[in-house]
Chain A
Amino acid sequence: MSATTGPLEGIRVLDFTHVLAGPFATRMMGDMGADVVKVMSATRAGLAGGVDHPYHAMWNRNKRVLQLDLSRTEAREIARELALKADLVIDNFSVGVLDRWGLGYEAVSPEHPGVVYLGMSGMGVTGPWSKYVTYAPTVHALAGLTYLTGVAGRNDIGIGFSYNDHMAGLHGVVAALSAITARRRTGRGQQIDMSQFEVGVSFSGPALLDWFANGVAAEPVGNAHAWESWTPHGVYRCAGEDQWCAIAVVSDEQWRSLCALIGAGDWLDDASLSATEGRRLRREEIDARVSEWTLGQDRYEVMRRCQAAGVPAGVVQTGVDLTQHDPQLAHTEMFFEFDDVHPTIGRLTVDRQPLRFERTPSTVYHRAEVFGESNESVARDWLGLSSAEVSRLESEGVME
C-alpha cells in the first residue's frame, strides 16, 4: 500500500474489529490517511466477515490485513508488539476478550503510556447488561429507535438498515481523535469505554428530555415531523410503481408557493390555513390533495417543479437511484471503481468518504485486502521483521 495523504497521516491504528461498527470506524480513519492494520485470522472469518464477501469489502478498504492466529502464544506476542507501536488500539469484541489475550490496556499501557484504547462493546464494560450481545438491530430495539421509527399502531417496523453500526463507528472516531488531541496536551493516552447501546439511546435525546420534563411518551409519527406541526410533511406517491417524492413545507412562505404551484387558490384564500397549526389540523385533507397532484407525475419532475417554486421536495431515492440517477452525486464524483481488481470478488466500487479536506484530501483508496497481501509489509513497517521471518511465521501457522 502506498503512502496516504489525509489529515491522519502518521497515525497508526491496530484494528481488532469485525462486522460493521468497528470496521466503519477504522475505514473512516484509513480514508483520512491513518495506517490501519486489521488483525484477522483465516480460521475464524465468518459469513459476512469473510474477506471474499462484498459486505467485508465494503467496510475494510484502506486497511492492511495481518493474519494472526491469536489462539497461539507467539501470535499474541506479535500482537502485543504491534500494540506497543500503535497510537490507537480498537476492538468491538465482547468485554474482556483483549484482556484475556494479554493485549488489553492494562497490559500494554505501562510500557506504552501514549496508547489510546477504544473498546466499542455493545453495552459497555460495566453494568448488569455488560455481557449482553448486540448487533445493530438489537441496539435499535433496546434504544427505542425500532419502536419510534414506524407508523401509528405499529412497533415492528424500525430502521431498515444498520444505522447504529455506522453511527457508533463515527462516534468512535470522534472519541479516538479527541483522546489523541488530549494526548498532545497531556502526554498520555487513555482507555475509552464506548457502549453502542448508549450511542443509540443518544439519538432519542429530545424525546427523552420530553419524557423526563413533560411526561410525554413519544410515539411513531410516520413522515410527520416528530414535534413540529409542519404540514404538508410527507412522502407522496408519484407516477410509476412504488415511486415517491417527499415534500416538506416548513414555512408559511413555502405554503403559499405550494398552493400556487398545485393550483390550490382556495387554500391561499383560507385564513385557517395561513399558519402551521391550522394546516396540521387539516393534515389528511392537505395530504390527499398533494397526493392527487403528485400521483400522475414523474417523481423527479415533482421535485424539480417544487424546488423551482421554493418548496422543499426530494425524490425517495433507492440505492440504484443514488448510484445511477443522482446528478448531484455524479457531479461530486461520490462513486468510482477501484483500478485494482479484487482477487475473488472482482471489480469493486468506492463510495468516497464525504468529508472533503481541501489541503489533505482523501484521494487514496485501496480495495479491501485478502489474506496474505500485507503480512510482510506490516511485519516490516511496524516490527522490522524480515521476509524470512514472515515466511516462517506463515508456514508455522502463526500468521494463519
Chain B
Amino acid sequence: MTTDVAADAVGDGAGAGALAGVRVLDLTDDRAIYAGKLLGDLGADVLRVEPAGGDPLRERSPRLADGASLWHAYFGSSRRVVRTDDAAVIARLAAGAEIVLDCGRLLDADGLHAEQPGLVIVDVSSFGPTGPWRDYLAPGLVAEALGGVAATSGDSSTPPLQLHGDQYAFVGGVYAAIGALAALRHARETGEGQVVRLSLHEALASVLEHVLMWAWYHDRLPFAEGPVLPRQGSLHWSGAYVVMQAVGGSIMITPTPDFSKQAAWLVEEGRGLELLDERFMDPANVAELVDLTMATLREWVAEQEVEPFFHEAQARHHPYGWVMTTPEVAGNPQLEAREWWTRYPVGGGEVPGPGAPYHFSESVWAVSEGGDAVVLDGGDALDAVGWGE
C-alpha cells in the first residue's frame, strides 16, 4: 500500500468535500465543462474563466422563460466565474491553481507547464494536437458519428443515431476529471505536474463495449456473422436483451444471467415447456435456446401490465428494466427514497436536478452556488479571486 497521506493530515474532514482545497482553473468549452462539475461538486474550488463577453454556453437550451440556461446550470454547476480575454490574466490565475482544465484557450500549455512544473494541465480537444483531422470541426453529432457511437444505435429502419442529450460532453468531461485527479495524485506525491491530453474522438471510441471486440474477434464469436454488427435497435449483441411491448408501456427483457430460472418462471406461467428440452443442456445449442426463449417471452410479455410485471420480475431477481420517460424518472421511488435530487441555482432561483452519482461516507457532495461573474479589469487577479495566498 502506498502512503498517499500527507504528513500534516488534518483529521476526518467532516463537512468537507473530498476535493476540498484543490484549486481548479476551468477554461473548457462543452467538450469538457462536465469535468468542472464533477470536481466542483466534490468540493474543489473551481474557477471558470468566461470570455469577457460572456460564456456562449449560457445560451444553450433548454432554458427558463427568462432565458437562463438550464443546460449551463447543470453542466456549469459548482464553480465561481470570472470574465476576461486577457491571456496574461489567465496565466496569472493559473499560478494559483493546481489543475487547469482547458479546451484550447491556453495558447501554450507546454510553456505554462515549463514555468509551473507542479501544475497539472488537462487539454481536451476533438482529435488531439496532431494528425490529419486535428483541425476538423466536430460538434456532438459529428463527434459521435466519427467516434463509432452512431453506427451502433438505431435499427434497419432508421439512420444511425446519436445518443440523446449531448452524451459526448459527459464522456469528455469524465475522462478529463480522471486525468486531472490521477495527475494531481502524481503531482502531490512527487511535485511533478504535467500536461495531460485527451482526444474526444479517442474517448468516444473507448466506450463502445462490443464494437471493437466484434471488429477484432468476430471469427471467435459463434453468433457473429462479420466484423460489424448491424444496427439492431435495443437487441443486445448476445441476442438476449431486447425491449418488448407490454400493456401500458415497454420493458427491457432479458433471460440472463440464468436461463434455467427464466424457463422455470415461464413454465410456472404455463409457457415455454419446450425450453426444458434436454438438447438445451448442450452449449452448442445456446443460440437456438436464446431465440426460442426470446420468442416465448415476447408473446408472454405482451399480455403483462408493465409496472407490476417489472416489480415481479425484479422480486425474482430478473434484471428487467421498465422503459421510463423523463417524467417517470423524475418520480422514481428509488431516487425519492434516497433523497437523491438536489437543487441547481439558475435565473435567481433554484431548480431540482440530478444528485450525486456517488455517496461518500465521510465527504460531502453538493452543488454549490458560484455567485455572480466577476469581471477582472485591474489589480492582481489572484488577489481578486482569493487565490493570493
Find out whether the CB atom of A329 lies under 8 angstroms from the CB atom of B192: no
- B257 within 8 A of partner (CB): yes
A32 to B182, CA, bound (A): 8
Residue of A nearest to B320 (CB): A138
Q: Tell whether A283 is near chain B: CB-to-CB under 8 Å.
A: no
- Write out the residue numbers on chain B whose beta carbons fall within 8 Å of the beta carbon of A275: none
Hey, which chain B residues are within 8 Å of A198, CB to CB? Answer: 335, 338, 340, 354-357
- Contact at A11–B215, with CB atoms within 8 Å? no
In the assembled complex, A185 has its CB within 8 A of some CB on chain B? yes
Number of interface residues of B (CB under 8 A): 162
A209 near B344: Cβ-Cβ < 8 Å: yes
Classify the interface of chain A: helix, strand, loop or mixed.
mixed
Q: With both chains docked as a complex, state the minimum distance between the C-beta of B197 and any C-beta of chain A, in angstroms.
A: 4
Interface string of A179-204 (1 = CB under 8 A from B): 11111111110111111011101111
Q: Could you list 19 examples of A-B contacts with CB < 8 Å?
A: A135-B241, A135-B254, A151-B154, A157-B153, A163-B163, A180-B4, A181-B181, A194-B358, A210-B62, A216-B62, A227-B60, A322-B147, A324-B215, A326-B146, A328-B201, A332-B131, A355-B198, A357-B196, A360-B183
**A285 proximity list for chain B (CB < 8 A):** none
Q: From B134, B203, B209, B322, give the contact of A142 (CB < 8 A).
A: B322
Q: How far is the CA of A282 from the CA of B34 in the complex (A)?
A: 33
Name the CB-closest residue of A to B131. Answer: A331
What's the Cα separation between A356 and B170 when bound, in Å?
19
Q: State which of A129, A184, A345 has its C-beta within 8 Å of the C-beta of B217.
A: A345
User: In the complex, which residues 162-205 of chain B have their Cβ closer than 8 Å to any Cβ of chain A?
Assistant: 162-167, 170-171, 174-175, 177-179, 181-186, 188-189, 192-199, 201-203, 205
Q: Pick from B244-252, B265-273, B274-282, B378-386 the stretch touching chain A.
A: B244-252
| Residues on the A chain within 8 Å of B42, using CB | 174, 178
Contact across chains for B220 and A359 when beta carbons are under 8 A apart: no
Closest to B352 in A: A212
With beta carbons under 8 angstroms apart, the residue of B146, B214, B241, B334 that contacts A137 is B241
> B38 near A: Cβ within 8 Å?
yes
Task: Given A150-B161, A190-B360, A349-B216, check contact A320 B181 (CB 8 Å).
Answer: no
Contact in complex: A226, B165 (CB < 8 Å): yes
Residues of chain B with a CB closer than 8 A to A254's CB? 137
Chain A residues near B227 (CB, 8 Å)?
319-320
Instruction: Specify which chain B residues have a CB less than 8 angstroms from the CB of A348 in the assembled complex.
Output: 216
- Beyond A143-B324, A185-B20, A213-B64, whether A157 also contacts B155 by CB under 8 A is yes
Residues of B near A103 (CB, < 8 A) are none
Given known A-B contacts A155-B250, A213-B70, A85 and B337 have beta carbons under 8 A apart? no
Evaluate contact between B234 and A156: CB separation under 8 angstroms.
Answer: yes
Q: Which of A101-151 contact B (CB under 8 A)?
A: 105, 114, 118, 122-124, 126-151
> Smallest distance from the beta carbon of B8 to chain A beta carbons, Å?
9
| B91 beta carbon closer than 8 Å to chain A | no
- CB under 8 Å from chain A, chain B span 332-387: 332-335, 337-338, 340, 344, 346, 351-363
A181: chain B residues within 8 A (beta carbon): 18-19, 22, 181, 184-185, 188
